[in-house]
C-alpha cells in the first residue's frame, strides 16, 4: 500500500535527532514480517471478523452501531463545510476519519461532539438523539472528546488536570465549599483513580509537574488519560499523533488499541496515514464535506478513487510494517521517552 501523509508540516513537532529516529527504520528493516493473527488481541480479531461482513460502501449499515449521523449539513456563508448523508460507527471498533485539508473532518467532529451546531441533520448515540446535547452532557452519557491542552491547563499540574476532568468536579463553587467533607471524599476517590490512570500512561512520576512542561507525546497521553476520568464508552480523539516525536508514536498507537481492547469505541481524526493504517478497524474518507468512501483500511486506502481524490500522486510510501507495534519495541521506545 502506498500513500503519504499530506499535512502537519506547520504543526510543532518534538525535536527528533537522527539517533532517535533511526531505531524505527532499523526495526522496520529487521522485522519486516507483519504481526500474525495470533498476536492481535481478541477484541481486534473479533471486530475485524464482524466488519469483514460489512460492505465497503458509503453510508453502509453496521451490525452494532453506537453512533449514527443522518443528513448533517454545516454551512459557513455560501460554503458547505459538511454534507454527510449517513454514517454509522460500529461499537467497539477503532474508526479513523481521514481526508485532505479542508475536507470537513474537524467541523464534522465538532458537530458530533457538541462543539458546533448544524444547519440541519441529526445524530444519535446509543440510540438516543444527541444533536442538541452539550459536550459536558455528552461526557456524562459516555461520549468524550480529547482536548489539546490549553494555556490555562498547561499551568496546572498533571494531577490537577486529571482531577479537573473528573465528572462532578466540585471546583471552588459555593456548593463545593459548603459540602467540603463530602467533596473531599470524592476528591480522594478521584485522586486514587487519577493515579491509576496516570500509572497506565507512564505519567505517575510526573504528577506534580506542570502539564506545560511535558513533551508533545506526553501531552497527548495526558489528553487521553484525562478523557478516561469520565469512564467513557466512546472516545473521540482529535489528531492524537499530531506534533508527537516519531519515537513515541508507536506507544501512542498501542494505547489507542488498548482502549478498543478494553471495549471502548474509538473515533479519531488523523493525518498520519501510518497511524491510520496500523490501528484502524474501519476508515471513513471525507472530501469536500462529503463522505466519499468507507471500509477496512487496506481496501479503502487502495481504492483508486480515494488515492486520486485524497492522497494525490504520492504512491511510494510503504505503510505495511506492522512490526513497529512489537511490544518489545514499544517498551524500548517508552523507556527512551521517559529518559527525555
Ligand atoms: N468557523 C469557520 N468559518 C468559516 N469557514 C470555516 C470555519 N470552520 C471551518 N471552515 C471551513 O470549512 C471547511 C472545512 O474545514 P475543516 O477544518 O472542517 O476541514 P478539515 O478536514 O478538518 O481540514 P484540516 O485537515 O485542514 O484540519 C474549510 O474550507 C474551512 O475553511
Cell of 207: 504528577
Summarize pLDDT for 256-270 with one digit per residue, the tens: 999 999 999 999 998
Task: Give the mean pLDDT of 192-215.
Answer: 95
| Index of the ligand 1 atom closest to the CA of residue 269 | 22
Percent of the chain with pLDDT over 70: 73
What is the predicted ipTM?
0.97
Q: Give residue 268 CA to ligand 1 midpoint distance, Å.
A: 17
Q: For residues 256 and 261, what is the distance between their CA atoms, to the nearest angstrom?
A: 9
The yes-or-no verdict on residue 87 having pLDDT over 60 is yes
Average pLDDT over residues 133-161: 86
Q: What is d(CA 248, CA 233) in angstroms, rounded to the nearest whole number? A: 25
Which of 115-129, 167-181, 184-198, 278-292 is predicted with the least confidence, judged by mean pLDDT?
A: 167-181
Q: Whose C-alpha lies nearest to ligand 1, atom 25?
A: 101
Asked if 32 contacts 25 with a C-beta cutoff of 8 angstroms, the reply is no
Q: Is 323 exposed, middle or buried (0-12, 13-18, 19+ CB in 10 A)?
A: middle
**Which region among 68-82, 105-119, 150-164, 222-236 has the lowest average model confidence (pLDDT)?**
150-164
Query: Is residue 112 in contact with ligand 1, taking CB distance under 6 Å?
Result: no
**pLDDT at residue 309 tops 70:** no
335: number of Cβ within 10 Å: 10
Check pLDDT > 50 for residue 63. Answer: yes
Instruction: State residue 331's pLDDT score.
Output: 59
Strand order in the sheet with 282-287: 143-145, 234-238, 265-269, 94-98, 282-287, 290-295
- Cα(103)–Cα(81) distance, rounded to whole angstroms? 7
What strands lie across the sheet with 128-129, from one edge to the other? Answer: 79-90, 65-76, 120-125, 128-129
The model's pTM: 0.80
Mutate to test the pocket of ligand 1, among 78, 81, 109 (most ligand atoms within 8 A of CB): 81
Average pLDDT of every residue of the chain? 80
Q: Which domains does the chain have, with CATH numbers?
A: 22-142+232-339 (3.40.50.300), 147-231 (3.40.50.300)
Other CB atoms within a 10 A radius of the CB of residue 206 amount to: 20
Question: Would the CB of 111 count as within 6 Å of ligand 1?
Answer: no
- Is the predicted pLDDT of residue 286 greater than 90, yes or no? yes
Amino acid at each position: 500500500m502506498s500513500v503519504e501523509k499530506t499535512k502537519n508540516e506547520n504543526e510543532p513537532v518534538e525535536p527528533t535527532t537522527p539517533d532517535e529516529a533511526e531505531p524505527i527504520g532499523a526495526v522496520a528493516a529487521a522485522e519486516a514480517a507483519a504481526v500474525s493473527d495470533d498476536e492481535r488481541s481478541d477484541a481486534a480479531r473479533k471486530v475485524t471478523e464482524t466488519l469483514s461482513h460489512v460492505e465497503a460502501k458509503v453510508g453502509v449499515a453496521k451490525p452494532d452501531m453506537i453512533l449514527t449521523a443522518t443528513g448533517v449539513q454545516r454551512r459557513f456563508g455560501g460554503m458547505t463545510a459538511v454534507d454527510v448523508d449517513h454514517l454509522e460507527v460500529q461499537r467497539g471498533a477503532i474508526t479513523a476519519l481521514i481526508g485532505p485539508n479542508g475536507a470537513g473532518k474537524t467541523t464534522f467532529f465538532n458537530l458530533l461532539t457538541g462543539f458546533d451546531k448544524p444547519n440541519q441533520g441529526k445524530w444519535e448515540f446509543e440510540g438516543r438523539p444527541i444533536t442538541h446535547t452539550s459536550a459536558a452532557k455528552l461526557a456524562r452519557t459516555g461520549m468524550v472528546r480529547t482536548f489539546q491542552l490549553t494555556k490555562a491547563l498547561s499551568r496546572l499540574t498533571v494531577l490537577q488536570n486529571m482531577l479537573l476532568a473528573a465528572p462532578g468536579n466540585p471546583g471552588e463553587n459555593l456548593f463545593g465549599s459548603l459540602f467540603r467533607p463530602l467533596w473531599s471524599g470524592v476528591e480522594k476517590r478521584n485522586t486514587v483513580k487519577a493515579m491509576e490512570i496516570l500509572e497506565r500512561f507512564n505519567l505517575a512520576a510526573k504528577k506534580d509537574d506542570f502539564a506545560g512542561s511535558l513533551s508533545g507525546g506526553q501531552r497527548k497521553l495526558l489528553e487521553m488519560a484525562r478523557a478516561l476520568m469520565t469512564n467513557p464508552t466512546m472516545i473521540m480523539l482529535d489528531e492524537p499523533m499530531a506534533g508527537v516525536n516519531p519515537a513515541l508514536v508507536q506507544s501512542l498507537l498501542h494505547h489507542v488499541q488498548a482502549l478498543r481492547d478494553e471495549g471502548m469505541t474509538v473515533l479519531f481524526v488523523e493525518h498520519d496515514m501510518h497511524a491510520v493504517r496500523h490501528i484502524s478497524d474501519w476508515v471513513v474518507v471525507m472530501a469536500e464535506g462529503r463522505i466519499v468512501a468507507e471500509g477496512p483500511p487496506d481496501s479503502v486506502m487502495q481504492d483508486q478513487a480515494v488515492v486520486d481524490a485524497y492522497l494525490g500522486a504520492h504512491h511510494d510510501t510503504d505503510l505495511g510494517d506492522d512490526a513497529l507495534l512489537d511490544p518489545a519495541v514499544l517498551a524500548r521506545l517508552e523507556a527512551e521517552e521517559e529518559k527525555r
